[in-house]
Every structure is written in structure tokens, then in C-alpha cells.
Amino acid sequence: MQTFIPKGNGIEDHLALYLYVANYGSLQLGWKRRAKFSFVLLNQSGKEFYKSTELCQVFCAQVPGWGIVKALTIKKLQEKGFMEKNKLIVKVQVQILEVVVTGNETMDVGGFHGAEAFQVSWIFVRHPDTALNFRPKSHLVKTTYMNLLLKLIEKLDKPPHSFSETELSNTRTELVDLTQTGFKLDWLKEKLDVIYLERKKTADASRIQELEQHNKNLKAELNKEKIKSAASAAKVLWLEQTVSTLKTKPNKKLKLSPN
């Protein structure tokens, strides 16, 4: 069974493709399937225009489906020749490598088992290479680092404006530390870069607003000074006229200014 999600799994501008085990609820306890699979998209004429990379995953009761969150952009799908009459064909190429009908084996996802595997399974669905180079011998160390990764992911889901400069710096340090242990976290680095960019935009907008207000205040002060200067100039002119009058008409009574 396959699942085709036109607007992605929580991502509006991408197509999502998933492969699920058919009727897995009716299978015996402990069932497991290990398989290689890839997705192919064709138009109504049968012309292939997309093929995903081949994935190799373990399907079980806890994780009955795997796939690609961002297979293709909706914009790309809408380009001429990709879809005919708003329809396309999705073909899945599957190679079964292992089948376990029943047993006591626990699910293994990226080296994690049971409840731990279920908790981290979504990470490996969306980002299969995350723990490819993360191979500590101690299970305790592995669990500790995975918990740190989950906390970091949760932290990066917060709105950009909620981060302080110190929190951002600490978050980047945590990301670097996890990367150095072997995790491939380019997708988290992109999220952190977006947060930095959004914060910079907000800070720049705030700074611009402050400068505009400062400029407005300066203009107001300048206008006040202009008014004062104009009043002083008028007074000087009046005095000059008065002196001139006194010189030309020394016997005439001077009319004093009310100011």
C-alpha cells in the first residue's frame, strides 16, 4: 500500500510519498519486514519525470510506514508536461529483503529499540541519514545523546522572537556538539539559520523604527529652533529700524515695542 499526499505532510509546498504495509493490523504479533523501495512519478502518457533515491527500512507494528516528506515541489509538478488533466501515476518499486512472521524481536530504528525506537522513528522517516555516522558502543550514551537531540529539536520549534541572544548561542553550541558526535543535522542548522535571520530582521526593523523616531524628534527640535530664530531675527530687525528712525528723526517720540 502506498500513500500519496499532494500538499506534503505538514509542508504545504511539497508532495509527500509514503509506503505502508497493507493490512498490518491483521498481522501476527512481532511481524517485521525489511525492504528496499523507491518511488517513481509518471504522467498520464507513461513518461517518467521523477524517481526517488532508494531507501532501505524496517517496517513493523510500531512503524508500519516509511517515505519521503518533501519528494517534489508543487510548483515543479505544475510545470508543463508533468501532469496531464491534473493527474499523475505513482509507481513504487519494492524489494523485500527480510520477513519475520512472528517472534519476540523488538523494533530497531537507527539502533534504538522498543519505546525508544517509537519515540525517534519520525526523525528517521523525515531525515534517514541523521544517525548514519552515530555509532556509540554504549546504549546509555546513545540514549543520552538522542534525548539531547530531541530537546534541541523541541527548542528549535519555538518562535524566533522567544530566543534571547544567550539562548541562541547555547543552541548553536549544542548543535555543534551533537554534530561532532556523528549526527548529520544539516536540517537543524537550516532551522537555526532561519531563526537567526528572522531575529536579525526583527532587530533591524526595530532599529529602523528607533532611527525614524530619533529623526522625527530632531526635526521637531529644528522647527522649534527655526521659530526661535525667526522671532530673534524679527526683534533684531525692529531694533535696527528703531535705531534708524532715531537717527533720522531725533525729535520724534519713540513708540516702544510691547516686547
Q: Which residues contact 64 (CB under 8 A, 6 or more apart)?
A: 20, 21, 24
Domain locations in the chain as residue ranges: 1-125
Higher-confidence position of 99 and 64: 64
Mention the CATH class of domain 1-125.
mainly beta
pLDDT, the chain, mean: 77
Residue 175 has which C-alpha cell?
548543535
- What is the pLDDT at residue 12? 61
Is the pLDDT score of 7 beyond 60? no
Residue 160: count other Cβ atoms within 10 Å of its Cβ: 16
* Region of poorest pLDDT, from 34-43, 87-96, 233-242: 233-242
- What is the pLDDT at residue 8? 47
pTM (two decimals): 0.41
79-91 residue pLDDT tens:
756 777 777 788 8
Distance between start and end Cα atoms, the chain:
96
168-219 residue pLDDT tens:
899 999 999 999 999 899 999 999 999 988 888 877 777 777 777 877 888 8
Which of 88, 92, 64, 77 shows the shortest CA–CA distance to 8?
A: 77
- What is the pLDDT at residue 173? 93
Residue 55 has which C-alpha cell?
531507501
Element (H, E) at 162: none
> Do 41 and 49 touch, CB atoms closer than 8 A?
yes
Which of 188, 79, 74 shows the shortest CA–CA distance to 123?
A: 188
Distances (CA, A) of 177 to 111, 151, 171, 182: 20, 14, 10, 9
